Structure 1
């Protein structure tokens, strides 16, 4: 096989991807705690766990979110730019209020609204302080989970 998808494709001229995403790796003071939070939020299992590196993914052959120990991790102070947010995830939910209550029960913290969302999203921080948004599911997207749940489980 040859061409952009074959083994002999020239990376300098190929129009295909050079690679694909594996894990989105997030610095954390406590990778196990961070993984437990995101596992519960997304309804995905912890599929790999070492002392300093934990992965949450659909299964043990899939890519996902990874959390690596960062001993000097500084909790973001968003929206104050003193310590920038570093990254954030948008998490689609069926019901903002129910999902908000669920993530607070998991250990999230509600952050000030950033404006301009017309009630379509709310901002929270995970246990390490990383901001994330709960986004109301748009009409074109299939339902996320059962009513009143986060990650499709109750």
Structure 2
């Protein structure tokens, strides 16, 4: 017995029911299943008009998922790769700046939880935070109590 083909709209709603998607990401996923005569852009427009697809909800969701583990530059880079830019990106950047140092401190505490023993250990800890996308100022702020105790 032949398996029923899922329509593009049904597939899009299935993806959106699992988690928020950006317009670019959902378009890429649906393009794989589009057949001749299917208009993916028109479908995305109708999903946005019906408020099933929202860039602001997607941005908020991604920031909430990533903020506890990653720094501003990594989060902003990921948002840009999903097609979020312009004023929306600036608003998110402004809101993330407020607590980056505290987030860096928490990530450092979870990973290491101890003062660096020597310069090599300190460099290793700082590199870890840098690879997570934290700014130099946030890293210095997170490592500052370690500097005072040393």
TM over 0.5, yes or no? no
Q: Please identify which structure carries the higher helix content.
A: 2
Larger radius of gyration between Structure 1 and Structure 2: 2
Q: Please identify which structure carries the higher strand content.
A: 1
TM-score scaled by length of structure 1: 0.28
